[in-house]
Chain A
Amino acid sequence: MSKTRYSGFKVLKEALTGHKGWEPTWRDAEPKADGYDVVIVGGGGHGLATAYYLAKNHGITNVAVVEKGWIGGGNVGRNTTIIRSNYLLPGNEPFYEFSLKLWENLEQDLNYNAMVSQRGIMNLIHSDAQRDAFIRRGNGMLFADAGCEFIEAKEVKERYPFLDMDNPRFPIKAALSQPRGGTVRHDAVAWGYARGASDLGVDIIQNCEVTGFNIENGKCLGVQTTKGEIKAGRVGVCVAGSSGRVMAKAGIKLPIESHVLQAFVTEGLKPVMDNVITFGAGHFYCSQSDKGGLVFGGDIDGYNTYAQRGNLPVVEDVCSGGMAIMPMIGRARLLRMWGGVMDMSMDGSPFIDSTEIDELFFNGGWCYGGFKATPASGYCYAHLLATNSSHEVATAYKLDRFRRGAMIDEKGVGAQPNLH
């Protein structure tokens, strides 16, 4: 398939010639009979990014991505599209900062418009203790070269006059901002990585569910799927919310629970907020899409579930969080709400690791923060699959870290996945 190169000139040319020159963005493939060097289970953002970086960075192009539905139909198309690297702990922050740097160059790298918008993210501060905690976090970010800005209340009010600064319960005292954070068109991330991987020779196989693993003498030789057996030199699983179900087919239990996270969007409004704002006293984060809808979310529902839908009490909780900081949101009508299944780990941090079965690898436990990690997750997973060693920014993401007592618990709430 010849590669269409996207550019302003190309758009103009197609506009004048009846849009007859566009080609499919990626090649829809069927499984090859003689198998692959690497089979990636899960065609979400992380799986497609992994395939892309395997081909691009490591020259491994005999790769298949198998996806039970269609690509971009899972969490990569369900999140609130926020990117940031405002973590505290040394096991996390360099990884997320690496990811943000990849985001900054993603569109040039992929020649695909993913609408990466570094509009800034602002975490509101509501108490003196939180001010101290956020200054500490800001220092952690500065150590990792991630950049941050402390904004006093006066300036917060000037920039965002709709905020309820003097709310009696949750007054806004200041904010910590990461100007390099922002939002990305999430579907375009899946499509862009799919296109990049496909052009380098990767087979993207949709509607192909993995039903089992071929494991002999402790070594994984391939996968069984609804489209037959696929032989593989190496298998990399990255299926987010389905991690428990898929890895159970290989007899592996994980330090993960599956929970549902809901997200919401209002009707389209005129431009009111040019950044991402998060509530510090509850859980609420909001940005405005280019179509004008306020896109927001909050806590997970809090009980184990594989249903991609949540319940109404959390809707009320999230909306009341929004009302506490921006009462104007009460005038907007909620247009849509949806749910995605999150792979909540025991310390709120992810895994990119080998497993007890040879040639079977696992990437998961992203909780509800997987989207921002997409480029680095793919980059580091590709590094692991190609070299059998962890990338330097992902060395902490080992499956056995709880056995060793080496948790990466940003919130410090312990082995309670529904609280992370």
Chain B
Amino acid sequence: MIINHPLLGPRDSEEFVYLGAADLINRPSNWEHDASAEDFYQYQYIRENVAGDHRELWYHEQGDQSWLVVTRNTLSHEIINVELAQDVSRGIGRGK
């Protein structure tokens, strides 16, 4: 698979390390309320496991060490969109 890095252009996916669904960006921020154990359980262990377009985190370990949010089809392996994870994170009001 070729991942079209927003800064570096097309790179072999072998240069990257895969983490999982991009939902992992949304770590629960409040860990002090009663439901926080449940929030963290859902965050850490439960997956949508999408069959179709899947947003996921790839780390460019053999390159510029950036985290990317790659939208990839899990049925065809086609890569539809690639964004810098820090842009995605800031876009939803989180830090980088």
Contacts and interface: CB of A to CB of B under 8 A. Distances in A.
- Specify whether A and B are partners: yes
Q: Which 10 A-B pairs have the closest CB atoms?
A: A244-B49, A402-B45, A255-B45, A303-B18, A306-B51, A313-B14, A305-B74, A346-B45, A245-B51, A253-B46
A305 B41 CA distance: 23
B48 interface: yes
B21 interface: yes
B45 A304 contact: no
A402 B41 contact: yes
Nearest to B41: A403
Contacts of B45: 255, 346, 402-403, 415
Given A313-B14, A402-B41, A418-B18, A307 B49 contact: no
B75 A306 contact: yes
Interface string A238-277: 0000011100100001111110000000000000000000
Interface string A306-318: 1100010100000
Given A307-B77, A311-B1, A256 B49 contact: yes
Contacts, number: 71
Contacts of A417: 20
Contacts of A306: 51, 74-75
A392 to B, nearest CB: 26
Contact of A254 (B12, B44, B49): B49
Interface of B: 1, 12-14, 18-21, 38, 41, 44-51, 54, 56, 72, 74-77
24 contacts: A244-B47, A245-B51, A254-B46, A254-B47, A255-B47, A257-B21, A257-B47, A257-B49, A258-B74, A303-B13, A303-B56, A303-B72, A304-B49, A304-B50, A306-B75, A307-B75, A307-B76, A307-B77, A402-B41, A402-B45, A403-B41, A415-B44, A416-B19, A418-B20
A147 interface: no
Contact of A304 (B1, B13, B46, B54): B54
B38, B47, B54: which has the most chain A beta carbons within 10 Å?
A: B47
B20 to A, nearest CB: 7
A233 interface: no
A302 interface: yes
A346 B42 CA distance: 12
A256, A303, A313: which has the most chain B beta carbons within 10 Å?
A: A303
A55 to B, nearest CB: 32
Nearest to A255: B45
Given A303-B18, A403-B41, 12 more contacts: A244-B48, A244-B50, A244-B51, A256-B49, A258-B74, A302-B18, A303-B72, A304-B56, A306-B74, A402-B45, A416-B20, A417-B20
